[in-house]
Structure 1
Amino acid sequence: MAQPTPEDPPGLLEMETSPQTKNYRANRLKLWQLLQQKHKESRETAIKHGATEAAADEYASRTLRGEINIFIDELLTHTRKLEVLNFIMAAPREWGLRGELLLGADPLVPSLIARSYPVAAWVDKIDALDLAVAADAKGWQAWLGARLDALGEAGRAASEHVFGAVEHIGKGLGEGVGAVGEGVGRALMIGVGVLSIGAVVIGGIWVLRR
Structure 2
Amino acid sequence: MKNHFNDVSKYLRQGKKIILARIIKQSGSVPRAAGTQCIILEDGSIKGTIGGGLLEHQVMERGRECLQNEKSSVMHFELTGEEVAQTDMICGGVADVYLEPVFPQNAVAGKIFNRIDHLINHGGNGVLLTLISDGIGPEDAKSRVLIEEDESATGEIGIIPAEDKKRLTKYLEIKSPALTKIGKGKQSIFVEPVRPYDTLYLFGAGHVSTFVASLA
Greater share of strand residues, 1 or 2? 2
What TM-score do the two structures reach when normalised by structure 1? 0.26
